[in-house]
């Protein structure tokens, strides 16, 4: 095909940077790192993409020695509280990079400044934020010249995800201030909360306040579910599509930390996720651990689950290990068998409980495989508050079952399952044969488990 002479077609070399930049947006991090070795053009584009996803930490010690001042696109930034005595350095960084930052992790001061003043400062410094994570602090001593009073009510209309972390005791006055913050995020989609305890009167739970209809809720459950978290679940139930519990510890099945979470009907919930600790402690020699989470379902707080009433839209159940857990004290990492058994005990008390109705809408189950022919579950009759010991003094809280029983129960309760994502690295063929025969496992797969 011939083009008219007056039409100028640019040489491909002129469009190469633009083409390369678009291609880079689809590449995972390992491929981006490889691209830095190709040539200078690839290196420049891939480095910019890598830096845009890398978390840049600003603190008083490293900020001047770091090369962040020369980075072209720091989109993910974490600001330490210790930076507040250095407003000139902060202002320099903000003037050069503030408009590029989309994900900000910072502190939320409750003394020395009002919430509207602080949010006005953030909104003018970082106008293009889409994610804001805040750790609450009651420290004073913030530079007053940073915070200019504003009569205009600021709204973060671009922010869709907010995280709130509380690590220190707060006064009633502090909690009253926290009650103001949700009004600043009219387009909130995801709310993540950590450090919400039973004494916390509620960031959202205010009878006269207008609740933002967010669709994703992420909760750090810690040692169990508090009454406040149950209340928060009830409050957000009508609009929730995704629910995640994280930082979930493991305890013996009879332990007092195993609290009931009363689940309201969640008509729109599609994905339920638990990020579970891959560690355990030692409690009187008991070996039957499970997540510190126990559910009651429906209006009658029943142990048994009627899926069509409770979760009529549920499509996926996921249980995955927390990759950021550190071993402290007497805790140790679980073996694959121990981790599966712990997961199975939780499922047998909730989503795979005997007597549950069929979950016909569930299409995907992302939990560990049985790693062997046998596994242990908790006995039906076990006294609460103490470990059952045998004549030898060893724990006898559990009873052994065939792994085929687990597959049979999965197939019976989830008859329309089309995807079973297994955490297993290189799984031996014998470990997945039963799943393949049932038709919801196609070959070996899964990742993330040692």
Residue-wise pLDDT for 152-198, tens only, equals 678 899 999 999 888 777 777 777 777 778 889 999 999 998 876 54
- Does the pTM surpass 0.85? The reply is no
Taking residues 258-280, report their average pLDDT: 83
Q: Assign 449 a pLDDT band (cuts: 50, 70, 90).
A: very low
Q: Tell me the HSE value of 255 on the side-chain side, using a 13 A CA sphere.
A: 23
Per the prediction, the chain carries an average pLDDT of 73
Torsion of CA 222, 228, 229, 231, to 10 degrees: 170
Helical ranges in 36-171 per DSSP H = 40-53, 87-97, 115-125
Which SS3 state, helix, strand or coil, does residue 109 take?
A: strand
Domain count, the chain: 1
Please state, in angstroms and rounded to a whole number, the distance separating the CA atoms of residues 209 and 203.
Answer: 10
Burial bucket for residue 150 (CB in 10 Å: 0-12, 13-18, 19+): middle
pLDDT value at position 323? 72
DSSP 134-172: EEEE------GGG----SSPP--SS--EEEEEE-S---H
The domain containing residue 35 runs over which residues? 13-53
Does a structural domain hold residue 259?
Answer: no
Does a structural domain hold residue 98?
Answer: no
pLDDT value at position 216? 95
Does a structural domain hold residue 151?
Answer: no
Residue 222: strand pairing partners: 248
pLDDT value at position 311? 95
Does a structural domain hold residue 7?
Answer: no
Which SS3 state, helix, strand or coil, does residue 217 take?
A: strand
Does a structural domain hold residue 34?
Answer: yes
Does a structural domain hold residue 339?
Answer: no
Does a structural domain hold residue 44?
Answer: yes
Residue-wise pLDDT for 274-317, tens only, equals 988 887 765 556 666 777 777 777 665 667 899 999 999 999 99
Please state, in angstroms and rounded to a whole number, the distance separating the CA atoms of residues 117 and 174.
Answer: 15
Does a structural domain hold residue 150?
Answer: no
- Per-residue CA distances from 8 to 1, 3, 4, 12, 15 (Å): 14, 9, 9, 12, 13
Taking residues 394-401, report their average pLDDT: 70
């Amino acid at each position: 095909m011939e083009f008219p002479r007056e039409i100028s077609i640019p040489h491909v070399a002129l469009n190469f940077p633009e083409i390369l930049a678009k291609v880079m947006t689809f590449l995972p991090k390992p491929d981006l790192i490889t691209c830095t070795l190709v040539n200078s053009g690839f290196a420049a584009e891939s480095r910019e993409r890598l830096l845009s996803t890398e978390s840049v930490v600003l603190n008083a010690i490293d900020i001047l020695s770091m090369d962040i001042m020369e980075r072209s696109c720091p989109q993910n930034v974490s600001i330490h509280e210790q930076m507040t005595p250095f407003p000139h350095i902060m202002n320099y960084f903000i003037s050069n990079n503030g408009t590029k930052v989309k994900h900000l992790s910072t502190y939320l001061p409750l003394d020395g400044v009002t919430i509207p003043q602080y949010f006005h400062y953030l909104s003018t410094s970082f106008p293009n934020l889409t994610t804001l994570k805040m750790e609450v602090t009651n420290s004073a001593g913030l530079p007053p010249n940073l915070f200019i009073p504003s009569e205009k009510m600021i709204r973060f209309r671009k922010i869709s995800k907010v995280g709130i972390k509380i690590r220190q005791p707060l006064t009633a006055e502090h909690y009253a201030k926290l009650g103001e913050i949700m009004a600043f995020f009219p387009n909130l989609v995801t709310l993540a909360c950590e450090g919400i305890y039973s004494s916390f009167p509620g960031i959202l739970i205010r009878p006269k306040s207008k609740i933002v209809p967010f669709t994703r809720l992420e909760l750090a459950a810690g040692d169990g579910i508090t009454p406040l978290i149950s209340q928060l679940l009830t409050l957000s139930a009508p609009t929730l599509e995704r629910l995640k519990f994280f930082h979930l510890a493991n305890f013996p099945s009879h332990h007092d930390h195993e609290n009931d979470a009363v689940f309201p009907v969640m008509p729109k919930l599609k994905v339920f996720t638990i990020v579970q600790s891959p560690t355990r402690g030692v409690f009187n020699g008991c070996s039957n651990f499970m997540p510190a989470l126990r559910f009651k379902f429906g209006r009658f707080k029943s142990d048994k689950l009627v899926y069509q009433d409770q979760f009529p839209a549920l499509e996926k159940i996921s249980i995955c290990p927390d990759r950021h857990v550190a071993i402290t004290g007497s805790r140790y990492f679980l073996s694959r068998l121990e981790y599966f058994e712990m997961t199975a005990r939780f499922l047998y008390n909730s989503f795979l409980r005997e007597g549950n109705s069929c979950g016909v809408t569930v299409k995907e189950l992302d939990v560990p495989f049985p790693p062997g022919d046998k596994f242990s579950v908790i006995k039906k009759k076990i006294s609460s508050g103490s470990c059952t010991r045998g004549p030898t003094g060893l724990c006898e809280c559990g009873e052994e079952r065939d792994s085929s029983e687990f597959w049979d129960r999965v197939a019976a309760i989830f008859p329309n399952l089309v995807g079973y994502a297994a955490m297993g690295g290189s799984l031996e063929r014998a470990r997945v044969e039963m799943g393949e025969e049932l038709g919801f496992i196609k070959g070996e797969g899964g990742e993330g488990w040692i």
